[in-house]
Chain A
Amino acid sequence: MTRKRIAVLLAVLVVLCGVLPVVLLAGASLEVLQRRGERASKEALEAVATQAAARISAYVAQQLEMLRTLAMAVGSEADAERRLRDANLDAPSLGRLRIVTGDSPSADLPRNLTPGQREKALAGEEVVSPTYVVDLAPAMDACVPSGVAGRAVCATLDLLELQRQVQRIRIGAQGYALAFDRSGRLLAAGDGALRAAVLAGDPIAESAAAAGLAKGTPAPQRLRNREGSDMLAGWAALPDLGWSIAVEQPAHEALRGARDALLVLGLGALATLLLSVSLGYVQARKMLVALELEERFRTAGQLAAGITHDLGHRLTILQQIEQLAATGDPDYMPRIKDSLAAEVSTIRRFVADFSDLTREADPAEFLPLELNAFASSVQGNARAYAAETGVQVEVEPSPSEAWVRGDRFLLERAALNLTRNAIEASPPGSRVRLRVVREGSMAALQVEDQGQGIAANRLPALFESFSSTKRTGAHVGMGLPNVRRIAVAHDGTVSVKSTVGAGSVFTLALPVQSSSPSFS
């Protein structure tokens, strides 16, 4: 595992353990914030709608009060008709004012009062018609007592002012108000695009909700308008007039505050996360450098100890040979010759072990390798050494071909290392078996000996560097760690099973190549 990868893993660990809970907590808080923001917006819109409804109610009440006052002031006068018409100049919102009696021609009667209402008006009761639209503006017929029996003062109240009030309501940049009559007909619209519906009487998306509200059914606080935009809405009803007021604002605008806070906090959390990861990564790399330095010193110490021990041992032997040679006795010459050859061989192995460590595996240069043939090759290379120790090396091939890819030199070094170890561990006359097996997607070369086995407590650290306790011959403990390095470089593994007194089985497993390669 590279230093960089370790640093990344450590940083991720920091994120998962330290920052993630904070981020989750922040996310939950933001969700709460957003919901509260939406609720607050809806409440604000409803408050505006209620306020508008109150103003409209007050305006209509004021108009009716003005009509009553006028009726009481001039309704019983002889020139009441003239004075009422004159009053129109000062109170245009009262529309056309006139005296209505039982003899009034039908053209003079308020057109939207029912016959029953007209009778009540002449009997001295105050009556008002439902709202209707005339000359583009909402209007309402109203009759109040004149103070003279059989005579009422009637007016067509011009409610244009109400339309203005609704049109002037602005919520943010895109919010507006709508007013509906009892049937859901749009009477006034703050949204210019909806005004044609006011004039033409066309239903709009909110009409059904408005008609429902007039009957007591609660209206939705979130809806889609004519253009399909997601809107937040506040509603208010005017039971006397039968009007409904809706104040709407696009959800994206109404919730902009919460969304902005969400964005800022989210960015803050992300920045914190990135900072934590970066700091973790940098700190982890620093720590790893320090650890690696420390590890190198320790390794260098272990290497030095091993080299000192092994070369010291070899030096002692060479000194003894030198002393033997100094005697000048020709009888010692064969012995001196054999001893020098043995020492040269030992030192060559020693150098070869170190040489293995310098070679890196490069997957781009891997070549196909058939493990049965490979095992036979290893057997051939180990035969001479095995013969010296009286051990027999056998190959037990797999029933079918087992193709892998790899650096043949390194794999051979690894396999020979395991085989030589097995030979060294085996008593004379015993056998070392090179077995090729396939298990799923892996093919393995197993090296089995019939030696004394390895104590269970030594197994976990067996593939770690410099853990060898063998100090006979050239053993600085680099062999098995190097085997593991080679296995990992080939995306493979090396493992061991051992029974004290019965022997060990080392398994070098490599990924199988799906089919036999073609060579060109």
Chain B
Amino acid sequence: MSGRLDPIDLKPAGENWASRAAELVFEPLVVLGNAGELIPVLAARAELLPSRAVRVWLRTDATFSDNSQVTFEDVARSLAGHHLRATKEDSSILIEPDDAATPIELQLPPVYIHRAELGTGGFMLAEQDQSHIVLRRRVPSPGRIASVSFIAYKSPQEAFAHTLKGDADLLPDVDPRWLEFIEGVARLRVMRTPSPYANVVAFNVSRLSREERIWLVELFRSDEMRKLAFGDDCAPPEQGPERKTDGAGGMTRLDVLAVPIFERFALAIRRTLGERGGAVRIQPQREFFNAIKAREFDLVAARPRIWPPIMAVQSSRTGAPTNVLGYSNPLVDAALDAQNWAAAQRALDDDPPAAVICKPEAIIVMDSRIKNVPNLRFWASVAQWEVRQ
């Protein structure tokens, strides 16, 4: 991988590599499924209660890396740091949130259960510094991964070169353009997994009316634009039926804001807009975010996280910290308050803050000998991977 390697810690799963390493060492009680359901991990069973609390039954075989049993106290202590209260029941644990505004389905999955630095995952931390993290398997198992080293290289290119050279066995987040280098390299294989991100055109809701935005959403269904911007490496999203609008009637020229890596995407947006296409403003990261905050844009080419869907709709709540576009829709807020995600999604579709253009795949290059790798919970499944001898 490339970039800085932060020390592994117990913060909720983030976007850095240390948080991926943490997925191998620590486990949450549950994870969130595609449909917003809770899938047990350290819990043997989990129930979402009508009161928006969660009742869990701990796995009886759950132990920390020192082989000590996971207790109610460990769970309560781990959850307390994340504003979640645990109450011991006969054979289960009742978990309630302090913050009722955020669904517990979003609050509970990122919390790792730990005792000091001990986790319950298949690996334990052996060593770490700024350039590498080494994890060792808790219980050796023939034919499975014995240790995992996260190595940080200066750039994605350097990381790719070292992987090709054989210095690394797995490289995540590979640029599709580089896959041609893998052709004919028997040692490596390519794995594609669904990405939690999507390429979207976000709207300035203060400048564009609902009708104009719906018109733009329909306009951006164009396959031509998607292919111009991303070629064949980005799959179109599932689309609802087309809507007829005359929202373009009074529309002026629209400027497109983007960071440098999305220059081509921005140019494709402008071309799709035709005579309504205005300037393309390619800004470095900092200026880009300043322009967003100041609402100095019409359209933004961006790649926000859209999975899990429940999390995506939460970003559209009025005043939510992740609602950087300043979107506000009382219907969405009401649906979220009622914790009716489907209604919130319908309200968003009816008054769209953005048009989803396509969903890129996450491309991983790995040693051909590694098998039994699932698409979901990729990093957390390392302990289950098998290695062909």
Contact = CB atoms under 8 A, between A and B. Distances in A.
Q: How would you classify the secondary structure of chain B's contact residues: helix, strand, loop or mixed?
A: helix
B185 A192 contact: yes
A106 to B, nearest CB: 16
B277 to A, nearest CB: 9
B270 interface: yes
12 contacts: A86-B271, A88-B267, A89-B268, A160-B177, A190-B184, A192-B182, A192-B184, A195-B181, A198-B181, A199-B181, A200-B161, A200-B162
A136 interface: yes
Given A88-B267, A89-B267, A199 B161 contact: yes
Contact of A163 (B158, B180, B280): B180
B180 A167 contact: yes
A46 B38 CA distance: 64
A85 to B, nearest CB: 6
A191 interface: yes
A196 B164 contact: yes
B116 interface: no
A85 B267 contact: yes
Contacts of A199: 157-158, 160-161, 164, 181
A85 B258 CA distance: 14
A191 B181 CA distance: 10
- Contact size range, A: 20 to 34
A347 B186 CA distance: 96
Given A89-B268, A136-B157, A192-B186, 14 more contacts: A85-B267, A85-B280, A86-B271, A89-B228, A136-B177, A136-B181, A160-B177, A163-B180, A167-B180, A192-B183, A192-B184, A193-B185, A195-B181, A196-B164
Interface in A144-169: 160, 163-164, 167
A135 interface: yes
Interface in B216-231: 228
Contacts of A88: 263-264, 267
B184 A191 contact: yes
A70 to B, nearest CB: 15
Interface of B: 157-158, 160-162, 164-166, 177-178, 180-186, 228, 263-264, 267-268, 270-271, 280
Q: How would you classify the secondary structure of chain A's contact residues: helix, strand, loop or mixed?
A: helix
A199 B264 CA distance: 24
Interface string A83-95: 0011011001000
A89 B271 contact: yes
A136 B160 contact: yes
A89 B226 CA distance: 12
A88 B166 CA distance: 35
Nearest to A200: B161
Interface in A170-226: 190-193, 195-196, 198-200
Interface in A221-236: none
Nearest to A194: B164
Residue from B162, B183, B228 with most neighbouring chain A CB atoms (10 Å): B183
B195 to A, nearest CB: 21
A322 B157 CA distance: 129
A89 B184 contact: no
A190 B181 CA distance: 9
A96 to B, nearest CB: 8
Contacts of B157: 135-136, 199
B161 A196 contact: yes
A184 to B, nearest CB: 18
A95 to B, nearest CB: 11
A516 B157 CA distance: 89
Contacts of B182: 192
B165 A200 contact: yes
B183 A89 contact: no
A86 B270 contact: yes
Nearest to A168: B183
Interface in A68-94: 82, 85-86, 88-89, 92
Contacts of A89: 228, 264, 267-268, 271
Interface in A299-328: none
Nearest to B282: A85
A74 to B, nearest CB: 15
